Chain A
Amino acid sequence: MTTRRAFLVSGAAGGAALVIGFRFSPEAIAQAPQEKKTPNPFDAWVHIGKNGGVTLITAKSEMGQGALTALPMILADELEVDWSGVRVEQAPTDPSIYDHGTGGSGSIAGSYLPLRQAGAAAREMLIRAAATAWNVEPATCRAETGYVVHGPRRRRLAYGELVEAAAKLPIPDLNKVPLKNPDDFRIIGHAIPRTDVPSKVDGSARFGIDVRVPGLLYAVVARCPTFGGKPAKFDATKAKAVPGVRQVLEIPAVGPGAFSAGGIAVVADSTWAAMQGRKALAIEWDHGPHAGESSQTLRQAGETLSAQPGKVVRNEGDASAALAGGQKIEAVYELPFQAHATMEPMNCTVDIRADRAEAWSPTQAPDWTRGAIAQVTGLPQPSIKVNTTLMGGGFGRRYQADFVVEAAQVGKAVGAPVQLLWTREDDMQHDFYRPAAFHRLAGAVDAKGNAVAWHHRIVSTSIRSFWDPPDKVKPEASEIGGAVDLAYAVPNLRVEYAPVPSSVPVAWWRSVEASINAFVVESFIDELAAAAKADPLAFRQRLLTEPRMIKQPPDSESVLDTRRFKGVLDLVAAKAGWGSPLPAGRGRGIACAFSFDSYVAEVAEVSVDKAGIPHVHRVVCAVDCGRAVNPEGVRAQVESAVVYGLSATLKGAITIASGRVEQSNFHDFAVMRIPEMPVVEVHLVPSTERPTGIGEPGLPPAAPAVANAIFALTGKRLRRLPILKV
């Protein structure tokens, strides 16, 4: 359901150029599921100038994942141009043209085929234009690095010379346009240096926080520390006396769809003056209805809810009967809230005028940004220009628009350009956290050591419950992936779900529920292996003997192929030397997970020091993400996901007391640092399958691989994250 068109454009700089646009029809957008931005459909413009230079204009945002390098690689290969002649440009925000939204590990997965089709269509049009000029059959011509070439004498025309004629030709049917034989790829599958790296070693890369426009003011907001609270009254006299402070104003909370807390904004000539002004505010808070909530109350709710049946989301065989008949193992796993803690705190710069607005936003969702500004200002969307900047980390946090709402509220009141910045404390205490989870499991192995029963009760603070209208909510939809689609063949299998009511904002944290469920599932399968006195790898391999395609829940778009799941287990075992002797005091653990249509297995090597502190020395990863467009980028993403996962495994947690977050900065929310960094090795499964997600899938196996290694070393089964001490 793509629409397409080509046209000539004229510009002062380059003259005529061939521009080909493709986009999903409005019908397709309307039908897309609202709840989750699935891998983004392709939407980019290809621009070929008269000088032959190629520009890909993409709506995907760059947050370090390398999309702005890998996307043009796909185009350049299919279009047959020199890689060094390709540029990439950030698209202006216009959801009627572009599919914005960068998340769900979907940039490459969703753009691979459409970008190839776009490149191939442009190539075919250029060939036809050349063939017409020479009066020969297009089939006798071919494209070669920016030229169309014909005949034994190799006469040729540069793309730049052909764009004017080519742009007048009809665009070929995208579904029939001939694509290159992957054996002929010159760019896809090769390690290409990232184009944004040089600007990130000399300070010239511009993040959202670095936006500077003439007359810029700076603002910070004091928010009620308790979720759902608001200012009862405040006195700004002292704040207004701080040198540089211009204005103090109250901004209201904005409800569902934006969930900004509201509060007291301080606007000043500099960030520091705004911060000092905020400190000088005297605010009396109305802490609201949730001040009694704590990690302890949530845990009690988890205990209670997991002791009773939940909503059955998968049921095969008779788990209850099988549990009664075998050697029964029971366990409870607990995971806390997690903060994203992107290195660049939330910020947004706006210039709101009576009839128009401009914003500079480090965002994964520029279209949501525009919608939020429209909602606050009442301006029509086409009069709002959103510039997407580089992001100092995203990890799902920057899909939200709460900080945009605040910037728009302040910008509208001030009537001058304003940069609204969150401090680290704001960021730590007003995140949309990874849900807290409480899982109760029972399993059984028979006398022969076969896993015969698996009963998994998932209880969590549901993302969908937080965001969806109560009459439409399906709480389990955001919480069961990676558990309901258990890869292992257990004949009697039952998975249930129950949500814990909570006021703590929750949303997508890198790899979402997969990071929670992989820890639980891959730890518990290890428990069954231990009960069966089996090697953890061999136990898993045996449960994957028969190839199966698992589509769970049945309406899932993802299908788990157990052959590929087993494939990464086999590969990681070989690369890690599974079964070979380790130095004294070292233990080895294995885990595997399927998420975002990719398969990753990891083996962790750990030790535990005299104080009981666990140390991870080596993590070997095997990855099957289909064809790796930029293998170097894939490796970097997996290394990154492992470290992010290790932070949640061994370091920080977000805890709640009196309805508010107890942590406030990196001194009490610890993350991995360089002295703790293990050697991470990444091995790719050679594949001709379509590319699948890679920003997130490396994360889920990290925690269970470490916990399983600690068990192998010490015999202690650690079921609660983070593991600060063994």
Chain B
Amino acid sequence: MAELTLLVNGRSQAVDVAPDTPLLWVLRDTLGYTGTKYGCGMSQCGACTVHVDGVATRSCVTPVGTVTGKKITTIEGLSPDRSHPLQQAWIAEQVPQCGYCQSGMLMSASALLTKKPKPTDADIDDALGGHICRCGTYQRIRRAVHRAAEGGGK
């Protein structure tokens, strides 16, 4: 074990975990950020996606020791009040069904919009092609990303 300091959603927090522990489990089990989900443990489904210094990152294969001092953002920190244009668009398009994969989808989509404010369908495929939604909400996700990009969250 080791004392590490993590900066999660703007808050600096000390954790006593082995540095090779995946960030996912530190977020979920140690710090209680359960919005970040476990889906596969091998970077195949995207459910665990968070931002590390703004970059969409699979927390299930990211050793926590590699992200100390970096800015970590989880779904809980995407906005304080569901006001992020993507969250608004997700509600407007009624995207989620079971909802389990959507935290990861939103984190990757928001990283995409930061880089490309007006993404094409191909950009969306690139950014979200590593994610899985078994409810098959992909069509609505695509619509919602475009809606948010066009400023039409509501």
* Chain A residues engaging chain B, CB cutoff 8 angstroms: 63-66, 193-194, 196-207, 209-210, 212, 218, 243, 270-272, 341-345, 390-395, 421, 423-424, 632, 636, 639-644, 646, 665-667, 671-675, 677, 679-680
Say whether B42 faces chain A, with CB atoms less than 8 Å apart: yes
Say whether B128 contacts A674, CB under 8 Å. Answer: yes
Say whether B37 contacts A202, CB under 8 Å. Answer: no
**Contact A666:B37 (CB < 8 A) given known A201-B102, A203-B76, A679-B139:** no
**What separation, in Å, do the CA atoms of A643 and B39 have in the docked complex?**
19
Say whether B42 contacts A667, CB under 8 Å. Answer: yes
Say whether A270 contacts B82, CB under 8 Å. Answer: no
Say whether A640 contacts B132, CB under 8 Å. Answer: no
Say whether A212 contacts B134, CB under 8 Å. Answer: no
Say whether B14 faces chain A, with CB atoms less than 8 Å apart: no
Interface string of B111-140 (1 = CB under 8 A from A): 000000000000011001111111111111
Say whether A201 contacts B96, CB under 8 Å. Answer: yes
**What separation, in Å, do the CA atoms of A646 and B32 have in the docked complex?**
36
**What separation, in Å, do the CA atoms of A198 and B99 have in the docked complex?**
10
Taking CB atoms, residues of chain A closer than 8 Å to B42 are: 424, 665-667
Pick from B29, B32, B75, B124: contact of A270, CB under 8 Å: B29
Say whether B139 contacts A343, CB under 8 Å. Answer: no
Pick from B40, B86, B97: contact of A666, CB under 8 Å: B40
**What separation, in Å, do the CA atoms of A370 and B103 have in the docked complex?**
31
Say whether B82 contacts A198, CB under 8 Å. Answer: yes
Taking CB atoms, residues of chain A closer than 8 Å to B29 are: 218, 270-272
The smallest C-beta distance from B154 to any residue of chain A, in angstroms, reads 12
Pick from A64, A423, A666: contact of B99, CB under 8 Å: A64
The smallest C-beta distance from B146 to any residue of chain A, in angstroms, reads 13
Say whether B25 contacts A271, CB under 8 Å. Answer: yes
Interface string of B77-95 (1 = CB under 8 A from A): 0110010001100110011
Taking CB atoms, residues of chain B closer than 8 Å to A64 are: 96-99, 135
Pick from A194, A272, A671, A680: contact of B94, CB under 8 Å: A194
Residue of A nearest to B29 (CB): A270
Q: State the main secondary structure of chain A at its contact with B.
A: loop
**What separation, in Å, do the CA atoms of A272 and B17 have in the docked complex?**
11
**Contact A202:B142 (CB < 8 A) given known A270-B30, A632-B94:** no
Taking CB atoms, residues of chain B closer than 8 Å to A198 are: 82, 91
**What separation, in Å, do the CA atoms of A198 and B137 have in the docked complex?**
16
Taking CB atoms, residues of chain A closer than 8 Å to B47 are: 343
Say whether A343 contacts B101, CB under 8 Å. Answer: yes
Residue of A nearest to B93 (CB): A197
Residue of B nearest to A207 (CB): B100
Residue of A nearest to B141 (CB): A674
Taking CB atoms, residues of chain B closer than 8 Å to A675 are: 125, 129
**What separation, in Å, do the CA atoms of A193 and B17 have in the docked complex?**
42
Pick from B40, B98, B130: contact of A424, CB under 8 Å: B40
**What separation, in Å, do the CA atoms of A641 and B134 have in the docked complex?**
10
Taking CB atoms, residues of chain B closer than 8 Å to A639 are: 136-137, 139-140
Taking CB atoms, residues of chain A closer than 8 Å to B54 are: none
Say whether B41 faces chain A, with CB atoms less than 8 Å apart: yes
**What separation, in Å, do the CA atoms of A724 and B11 have in the docked complex?**
48
**Contact A643:B138 (CB < 8 A) given known A270-B30, A671-B132:** yes
Say whether A203 contacts B21, CB under 8 Å. Answer: no
**Contact A671:B134 (CB < 8 A) given known A64-B96, A198-B82, A393-B100:** yes
**What separation, in Å, do the CA atoms of A66 and B74 have in the docked complex?**
26
Say whether A193 contacts B94, CB under 8 Å. Answer: yes
Q: Closest 6 CB pairs between A and B? A: A203-B35, A643-B136, A392-B100, A200-B99, A64-B98, A64-B97
**Contact A674:B124 (CB < 8 A) given known A636-B97, A640-B136:** yes
Say whether B136 contacts A644, CB under 8 Å. Answer: yes
The smallest C-beta distance from B56 to any residue of chain A, in angstroms, reads 14
Interface string of B44-82 (1 = CB under 8 A from A): 110100000000000000000000000000111011001
**What separation, in Å, do the CA atoms of A48 and B6 have in the docked complex?**
47
**What separation, in Å, do the CA atoms of A622 and B10 have in the docked complex?**
49
Taking CB atoms, residues of chain B closer than 8 Å to A394 are: 98
9 more CB-based (< 8 A) A-B contacts, given A243-B1, A345-B38: A193-B94, A210-B34, A342-B100, A390-B99, A392-B101, A424-B42, A636-B94, A640-B97, A643-B135
Q: State the main secondary structure of chain B at its contact with A.
A: loop
Taking CB atoms, residues of chain B closer than 8 Å to A677 are: 136, 138-139, 142
**What separation, in Å, do the CA atoms of A495 and B85 have in the docked complex?**
55
Residue of A nearest to B124 (CB): A674
Say whether B106 faces chain A, with CB atoms less than 8 Å apart: yes
Q: List 7 A-B contacts (CB under 8 A).
A: A212-B34, A343-B100, A392-B37, A395-B134, A424-B40, A644-B136, A680-B139
Taking CB atoms, residues of chain B closer than 8 Å to A202 are: 35, 75-76, 78-79, 82, 87
**What separation, in Å, do the CA atoms of A655 and B41 have in the docked complex?**
22
The smallest C-beta distance from B74 to any residue of chain A, in angstroms, reads 7
**What separation, in Å, do the CA atoms of A395 and B17 have in the docked complex?**
36
Taking CB atoms, residues of chain A closer than 8 Å to B82 are: 198, 201-202
Taking CB atoms, residues of chain A closer than 8 Å to B124 are: 674
The smallest C-beta distance from A217 to any residue of chain B, in angstroms, reads 10
Residue of A nearest to B42 (CB): A665
Pick from A196, A203, A666: contact of B33, CB under 8 Å: A203
Say whether B37 contacts A209, CB under 8 Å. Answer: yes
Pick from A203, A345, A673: contact of B74, CB under 8 Å: A203
**What separation, in Å, do the CA atoms of A424 and B98 have in the docked complex?**
17
Taking CB atoms, residues of chain B closer than 8 Å to A424 are: 39-42, 45
**What separation, in Å, do the CA atoms of A204 and B106 have in the docked complex?**
14
Taking CB atoms, residues of chain A closer than 8 Å to B40 are: 424, 665-666
Say whether B106 contacts A201, CB under 8 Å. Answer: yes
Pick from B75, B95, B140: contact of A203, CB under 8 Å: B75
**Contact A205:B128 (CB < 8 A) given known A639-B136, A640-B135:** no
Say whether B91 contacts A197, CB under 8 Å. Answer: yes
Residue of B nearest to A205 (CB): B99
Taking CB atoms, residues of chain A closer than 8 Å to B79 are: 202
Taking CB atoms, residues of chain A closer than 8 Å to B37 are: 207, 209, 343-344, 392
Pick from B17, B103, B131: contact of A673, CB under 8 Å: B131
Taking CB atoms, residues of chain B closer than 8 Å to A632 are: 94
Taking CB atoms, residues of chain A closer than 8 Å to B28 are: 271
Pick from B25, B129, B136: contact of A272, CB under 8 Å: B25
Residue of A nearest to B101 (CB): A343
**What separation, in Å, do the CA atoms of A150 and B60 have in the docked complex?**
63
**What separation, in Å, do the CA atoms of A486 and B98 have in the docked complex?**
33
**What separation, in Å, do the CA atoms of A203 and B94 have in the docked complex?**
16
The smallest C-beta distance from A201 to any residue of chain B, in angstroms, reads 4
Say whether A343 contacts B45, CB under 8 Å. Answer: yes
Say whether B132 contacts A343, CB under 8 Å. Answer: yes
Say whether B132 contacts A673, CB under 8 Å. Answer: yes
Say whether B100 contacts A65, CB under 8 Å. Answer: no
**What separation, in Å, do the CA atoms of A416 and B36 have in the docked complex?**
25
Pick from A395, A641, A674: contact of B142, CB under 8 Å: A674
Taking CB atoms, residues of chain A closer than 8 Å to B95 are: 197, 201
**What separation, in Å, do the CA atoms of A632 and B93 have in the docked complex?**
10
Say whether B103 contacts A203, CB under 8 Å. Answer: yes
**Contact A65:B97 (CB < 8 A) given known A200-B102, A203-B36:** yes
Residue of B nearest to A428 (CB): B40
Say whether B21 contacts A344, CB under 8 Å. Answer: no
Say whether B138 contacts A209, CB under 8 Å. Answer: no
The smallest C-beta distance from B125 to any residue of chain A, in angstroms, reads 4
**What separation, in Å, do the CA atoms of A66 and B97 have in the docked complex?**
7
**What separation, in Å, do the CA atoms of A640 and B134 have in the docked complex?**
8
**What separation, in Å, do the CA atoms of A205 and B100 have in the docked complex?**
9
